[in-house]
């Protein structure tokens, strides 16, 4: 069942966070559904601009529609990740997405407000939720690169004004995370003080944490032992901090990099150990099973594991 992110957030707020996982291909899609069903969790499928170009819009839609038919018990939102205005309209008009993110966070405040407001008007007319972003995360994704000196934590007063003026349904806030594998040096952690200030000005309003991969050290070591060359100092968000972020209003947690690390580890180890093999279905099967395990583990940490029936009851009005 495809639902909006706003529907999910109403049920989850303050109790648990929903995992938002990016997909680019069939293996990720199958692993994602299996991992969420095994851990009985609602979830958000995220599609980036890069994914739309890589796999093609129709192909991704077909995959998700097929998964919906195969696993009708799943409850999820289909969300555009880091959209620009034009891509948001494309998704809104497609009738397939239940939620879009307009990311105009790199623009001055007034421009961000104006663009977000336009997207909200068009999305709400079709019952689609809108996530916006204020503040700037560091790091790299295919279409955005923000270096450390331009990264900027979200200002709590601006956040309140932004939400009031735009009417967005959720807000991505910058609280110290960044995209990609190289987030922290040493023992840095999230800026909970900032998060708490934002929540004080926006009580009950769903906040989104981007750049939430944990970049497990063991995963990096295994990749490097199998021929990879990742910087061994790569650090991510401590997964145990999700539980502290939930009562402070974080309701959606974006994870992409960690899934890419699972893919890289599985494929590097497979071909290192069996150099004469060339059937991609061998590592593909292992990846789908490992990805499902990875999703189930994340859902435990987010508190969304085991919530599927509670969410279904709340959505269908039966308890
Ligand atoms: O935050 C961005 C996601 O990790 C998507 O990355 O733009 O390379 O698909 P991408
Ligand atoms: P990571 O790079 O930490 O996985 O963040 C993903 C993300 O924020 C997608 O929007
Ligand atoms: Zn992001």
Find, among 93, 132, 81, the residue nearest to 111 by Cα. Answer: 132
pLDDT in tens, 17-44: 999 999 999 999 999 999 999 999 999 9
Nearest-ligand number for the alpha carbon of 136? 3
pLDDT level of residue 10 (50, 70, 90 thresholds): very high
Residue 82 CB less than 6 A away from ligand 1: yes
pLDDT in tens, 173-204: 999 999 999 877 666 678 999 999 999 999 99
Angle, CA 49 vertex, CA 44 and CA 53 arms, to 5°: 115
pLDDT at residue 234, rounded to an integer:
85
Report the nearest-CA residue for atom 3 of ligand 2: 211
pLDDT confidence tier of residue 166, bands split at 50, 70 and 90: very high
State the helix-helix crossing angle for 85-94 and 109-124, rounded to 10 degrees.
10
Closest ligand 1 atom to 54 CA: 9
CA distance 271 to 39: 30
- What does the pLDDT read at residue 149? 55
What one-character DSSP code corresponds to residue 148? G
Is residue 81 part of the annotated active site? The answer reads yes
Mean pLDDT within 58-75: 98
Residue 82 backbone class (left: φ over 0; alpha: ψ -120 to 50; beta: rest): left
Angle between the N-to-C axes of helices 109-124 and 156-166, in degrees from 0 to 180, rounded to the nearest 10: 40
Which one of the ligands is nearest to 257 CA? Answer: 2
- From the CA of 235, how far away is ligand 2's center (Å)? 13
Mean pLDDT within 107-118 = 98
Residues constituting the chain: 319
Question: Is pLDDT at 142 greater than 90 in this prediction?
Answer: no
How far is it, in rounded angstroms, from Cα 44 to Cα 94? 18
Which structure tokens are listed for 180? 């990609």
Q: Exposed e or buried b for every residue in 151-171, given b needs 16+ CB within 10 A?
A: bebbbbebbbebbeebebbbb
How far is Cα 157 from Cα 287, in angstroms, rounded to an integer? 44
179 CB-near residues (< 8 Å, 6+ apart): 137, 138, 139, 140, 141, 144, 210, 211, 256, 257
Provide the pairing of β-strand 138-140 with 145-146.
antiparallel
Stronger pLDDT, 138 or 205, i.e. the higher one: 205
Architecture of domain 5-316: Alpha-Beta Barrel (3.20)
Residue ranges around ligand 2 (CB below 6 Å): 22, 81-82, 179-180, 210-213, 254-258
Catalytic choice (7, 81, 103, 169)? 81
Domain ranges within the chain, ordered by starting residue: 5-316
Q: Which neighbouring-strand residues pair with 132?
A: 102, 171
Q: Whose CA is nearest to atom 5 of ligand 2?
A: 211
């Amino acid at each position: 069942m495809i639902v909006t992110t706003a529907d999910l957030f109403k049920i989850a707020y303050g109790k648990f966070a929903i995992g938002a996982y990016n997909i680019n291909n069939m293996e990720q899609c199958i692993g994602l559904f299996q991992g969420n069903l095994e851990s009985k969790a609602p979830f958000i499928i995220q599609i980036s601009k890069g994914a739309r170009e890589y796999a093609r819009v129709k192909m991704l839609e077909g995959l998700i529609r097929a998964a919906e038919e195969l696993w009708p018990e799943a409850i999820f939102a289909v969300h555009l990740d880091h959209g620009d205005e034009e891509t948001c309209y494309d998704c809104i008009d497609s009738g397939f997405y239940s939620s879009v993110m307009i990311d105009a966070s790199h623009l001055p405040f007034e421009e961000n407000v104006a663009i977000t407001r336009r997207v909200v008007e068009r999305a709400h007319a079709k019952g689609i939720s809108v996530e916006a972003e204020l503040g700037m995360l560091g790091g790299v994704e295919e279409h955005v690169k923000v270096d450390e000196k331009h990264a900027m934590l979200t200002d709590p007063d601006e956040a309140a004004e932004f939400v009031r003026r735009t009417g967005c349904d959720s807000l991505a806030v910058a609280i110290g995370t960044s995209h990609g594998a190289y987030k922290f040096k040493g023992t840095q952690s999230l800026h909970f003080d900032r998060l708490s200030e934002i929540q004080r000005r926006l009580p009950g309003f769903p906040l989104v944490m981007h750049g939430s991969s944990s970049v497990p050290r063991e995963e990096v070591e295994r990749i490097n032992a199998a021929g990879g060359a990742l910087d061994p100092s790569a650090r991510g968000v401590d997964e145990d901090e999700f539980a502290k972020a939930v009562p402070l209003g974080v309701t959606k947690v974006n994870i992409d990099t960690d899934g890419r690390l699972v893919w890289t580890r599985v494929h590097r180890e497979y071909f290192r150990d069996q150099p004469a093999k060339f059937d991609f279905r061998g590592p593909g099967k292992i990846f789908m099973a490992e990805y499902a395990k990875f999703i189930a583990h994340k859902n435990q940490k987010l508190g969304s594991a085991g919530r599927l029936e509670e969410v279904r009851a709340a959505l269908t009005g039966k308890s």
